Amino acid sequence: MAKEKKKEKPKREGTLTKPYKKGKHCPKCGPGVKLADHKNRLSCGKCGYYEKK
Ligand SMILES: [Zn+2]
């Protein structure tokens, strides 16, 4: 009666896209669109607007 327990693989963390924290809104698209935070710049994925940090 040996029960084999399958080891559950740990869920991958880090692959989830983090919700943007207090981000700037795109001045072109309006308050509904936030700018993506990059290393040295903020960019809008919608219209392509970006600004340097
Ligand atoms: Zn935009």
Distance 47 CA to ligand 1 centre (A): 4
- Residue in the block written with tokens 């924290």: 21
Q: Span 8-23, mean pLDDT?
A: 62
Distance 49 CA to ligand 1 centre (A): 5
Q: Check residue 22 and give its pLDDT.
A: 67
From CA 16, how far away is CA 32, in angstroms rounded?
A: 21
* pTM of the predicted structure, to 2 decimals: 0.54
Q: Span 22-28, mean pLDDT?
A: 86
From CA 10, how far away is CA 7, in angstroms rounded?
A: 9
- Residue in the block written with tokens 């994925």: 45
Structural domain spans, the chain = 22-53
Distance 29 CA to ligand 1 centre (A): 4
Distance 35 CA to ligand 1 centre (A): 7
From CA 50, how far away is CA 45, in angstroms rounded?
A: 9
Three-state secondary-structure class, residue 31: strand
Residue 27, phi-psi category: left (phi > 0), alpha (psi -120 to 50), beta (remainder): alpha
Distance 17 CA to ligand 1 centre (A): 19
